[in-house]
Structure 1
């Protein structure tokens, strides 16, 4: 074995230790959280067939739906909110759409929603700017209705988002704890019969969801752009415009809430579904934006460690989360290529843990496999236990195929790094897929 082989092996081992050391405890805690909630990782799926529940007395929920050319999906989203979230006040923000998004939203709302219309040059300045515009109208409504901002929840829902029936009402209960400033629902991908969409659901509904549940213990659940709830008084504490110009304004808001001393939590009592992406270019564009926003958020570490009233567990967990692209994704994008090239073109010493008889070498190979793929196998079992539409053997297949799916992240993370180096910060929204209109 060459000195370079030894160095790469040591680096690979180090990255795996970091990845497993960060992820496994969160997943274990997340599994325990889920089982305490309803004693089953799969039971959350039954929420799709639940009945709408009225928002508890004393609480008000406003749903902000930012839109830019969302004619393909906005009608169904507004219809779903009216049917499944009784009592929620819906505000659609049309961010200068070139199609009939606003008209379709108003038609589906049947006079029961409000559409904020933004026009150029103020429009199309990013999702954060659109949300802040919707929030201005929301605050006006709160003042007119004489509501207490501490008892008002602001939900952010993407134009393709579908929350389970009564989700808004169930989330309101989380905010009875006065220290909770935000909550994030688990995310499910629709259309999972497509391979690319199954991979995306495998990410969101498996490891990500359980990790998020694990982060409830540290109060540092990561805010996402879909199914995100915030206490209005917490947003007021963050500032007049709580959503920043960051490419991941949701992650940025979660950090701002933590710096302000608020906890962010989650629940097994509701979830949100959304479309995924099957087009490679759109998928890479989306993941590049996510990585760039995530990596740029490192600039907020000083605030996280100097702010008062932040629990040590929150500081540590958020710090570890922010370092993921730098300590795991970027280095592994190089290590995996070297290992594959050595496996294909080099001798087998790189992958042999012991010399000797055949049975020793076989055991060494098994040990190497377990070390290399144990995380993927755990991930496969977790996803299988979370879903009812994929057999265990197929989940295991997807876990091993993750080696190929990793290239989406590898390409995206390097594109994001290049954009940071070159100072490119333009924002591109995710395009939707046409849906069959829901009527009634």
Structure 2
């Protein structure tokens, strides 16, 4: 029977568990950024799009339920009283109320306001919430210059189709925008698609009654200029002119299309009617009633201002994102074009008859295998090296493993295989320790979870026949590609890494020698001080240092190595977080190459910009393609958006197919490419964003060991070999 832990100890254990469950700030910042960005996009779509718009228009129905007073009355309907019948009001003689619908518009509304100001005339602007929220300064100008503002709903639907809750929403949202734009509320309302009072029917009349119960005067018109038809200036003036000195509410538009005829007509209509004794007044002035505007204060005012400000921010963010999308579009197509063109040239060079790096290399080389807790993989790794068709010396550097990695290798008792033990000091220190113990002038480096084909070492070292070559990058391939995550990484390795390396090879600015398969001239490593511990991407760091020291770094596509890729999202996140952060560190470390001369300057002005654009900037902006896909599907135009996204996917598919053909891979894995672009790219984006935040906030990232399964075996290895390699019994 066990003794229960003391209460204090249990409480401490609970506190520790609570602390462990707390989401780290490095995860919170990207998450908050994405949530804020999504909110801004949704707000932008909410204001700009037609997702909430309802363009149905009710056909005329019977009028038997509409009071005769309304049908035969004036263009202003007062149904606010709950105890008295609705009133119908007319405009007095020689008074004109100019009304403008559907604005404000950034082009035409200022011109309309200029004409009214020129002739000291006033009018009523019935604004929609979507337009007013985007151009609040124009609403403020209307109020400042003495005009009245009325509601024309938020999204311009036919309210006879809408529920009372939707009607309330259309009114409240419109009032919210007016509060934020001009600090007012208004009691004037004009229903969309309305005309004369005698057009009121059994469908629209209940809406008018409900609007009245909410405290609004419903304003239609009795003189329609029909300017929306663009019939010509003379026709607009003719139709807008009242008959026999009667008062009128004239319908015009300051938005919804080209309103140049309306502006020109105003310039002639206003002075003409003023000469005839007409006054252009606000509605309440013409009726002798109190102003329709009520000042808004307190929380309602600040809520309106916050909404208008948020709309403005969302518009600017969207503009930035559109610019970013244009940049990523140029980068993506430029990269794909370069990849295809230069990869084709690279393939022709490699296959060209008589091409060789120099005299074939036959002298032994040293293979370094840094290992930390690789007991599940190390036997397969070493067996693959021993099976090489090239003479090798194998040094396994055990970096303070807590399992029996080193013991497994020693029990194997294989020729030309040595184990070097050290305290845990990290991969760069392990590699430097291995270099110090190496007996040969060519050093091959690989990971402890990787296996080589028999010809890999031979293919990898042949470029050293050229004395200018200081390092060679091999062809790293995913061995565990059966899972979905593995298949996505397989596509990424073949298309994103190896196709890139062919391009970088011809441009002579190879950015990274993969840790899974790379070779170095020992003299080159000695000149740059060996493997550096300054960054988390020692492979990228040493490659850039070699470029700056004047060495060539080339690609050997037939030097294939099979590595175990992460099998869970968490492991993949950890690996790519380290890669992206380490790449940023390496770029920053070698930034002075941009202003230097010679080989260093060439790499700085060619290689570093390529690495920064294609490995840091482009991946950060790439998800914009998918963001705008979702935005376009939800808010429109859906068809054009989907076609554009499929076009980009088609270009990627062509590049991927060509890369698979060059690597002689089966095309069946490309079936998962569309899903990879939707899901995998977002994960890489968040990882890179987290790396940016870590870098900008001065955070430190530690080396993170991935959990291995040992599923990747040496090509052609038998089960008996695998069992012998993992046998942990002492050898007699």
Q: Could you tell me how far 1:174 is from its partner in structure 2?
A: 0.5
Rounded to whole Å, the distance in 2 between the matches of 1:267 and 1:22 is: 21
Distance 1:374 1:14, change over 3 A: farther
Q: Please say if residues 18 and 328 of structure 1, whose CA atoms lie closer than 8 Å, have aligned partners that are also in contact.
A: yes
Q: Please say if residues 376 and 399 of structure 1, whose CA atoms lie closer than 8 Å, have aligned partners that are also in contact.
A: no
Where do 1:355-366 residues align within 5 Å? Answer: 364=640
Rounded to whole Å, the distance in 1 between the matches of 2:707 and 2:446 is: 15
SS state at 2:398 partner? strand
1:21 maps to which residue?
Answer: 334
| Structure 1 stretch displaced more, 276-285 or 381-390 | 381-390
2:528 maps to which residue?
Answer: 238
1:90-111 deviation digits (Å, cap 9, x = unpaired): 1110000011100111223425
Query: Within the alignment, does 1:87 sit opposite 2:361 as a pair?
Result: no
1:164 maps to which residue?
Answer: 453
1:63 maps to which residue?
Answer: 367
1:132 maps to which residue?
Answer: 432
1:373 maps to which residue?
Answer: 649
| Structure 1 stretch displaced more, 394-403 or 159-168 | 394-403
Aligned mate of 2:702, from 418, 426, 432: 426
- Report the TM-score, using the length of structure 2 for normalisation: 0.50
SS state at 1:224 partner? coil
RMSD: 2.6
Where do 1:298-377 residues align within 5 Å? Answer: 298-310=587-599, 314-315=603-604, 316-333=606-623, 335-336=624-625, 338-346=627-635, 348-349=636-637, 364=640, 368-369=644-645, 371-377=647-653
| Structure 1 stretch displaced more, 303-312 or 199-208 | 303-312
Aligned mate of 2:686, from 404, 407, 411: 411
Rounded to whole Å, the distance in 1 between the matches of 2:609 and 2:520 is: 22
Distance 1:414 1:244, change over 3 A: same
Rounded to whole Å, the distance in 2 between the matches of 1:130 and 1:321 is: 27
SS state at 1:91 partner? strand
Q: Could you tell me how far 1:371 is from its partner in structure 2?
A: 4.7
2:549 maps to which residue?
Answer: 260
Q: Could you tell me how far 1:307 is from its partner in structure 2?
A: 4.1
Q: Please say if residues 70 and 432 of structure 1, whose CA atoms lie closer than 8 Å, have aligned partners that are also in contact.
A: yes
Q: Could you tell me how far 1:260 is from its partner in structure 2?
A: 0.4
Aligned residues: 393
2:416 maps to which residue?
Answer: 112
1:202-227 deviation digits (Å, cap 9, x = unpaired): 11122321210121112222211111
1:165-194 deviation digits (Å, cap 9, x = unpaired): 132223332111111100000111112221
Rounded to whole Å, the distance in 1 between the matches of 2:383 and 2:546 is: 31
Q: Please say if residues 66 and 131 of structure 1, whose CA atoms lie closer than 8 Å, have aligned partners that are also in contact.
A: yes
Q: Could you tell me how far 1:398 is from its partner in structure 2?
A: 1.5
User: Could you say which structure has the greater relative contact order, defined with CA pairs below 8 angstroms and 6 or more residues apart?
Assistant: 1
1:206 maps to which residue?
Answer: 495
Rounded to whole Å, the distance in 2 between the matches of 1:31 and 1:109 is: 45
Q: Could you tell me how far 1:9 is from its partner in structure 2?
A: 3.0
SS state at 1:424 partner? coil
Rounded to whole Å, the distance in 1 between the matches of 2:465 and 2:667 is: 39
Distance 1:216 1:172, change over 3 A: same
Report the structure number with the largest CA radius of gyration.
2
Unaligned 5+ residue runs, structure 1?
40-54, 143-151, 352-361
- Report the TM-score, using the length of structure 1 for normalisation: 0.81
Q: Could you tell me how far 1:299 is from its partner in structure 2?
A: 1.2
Rounded to whole Å, the distance in 2 between the matches of 1:313 and 1:210 is: 22
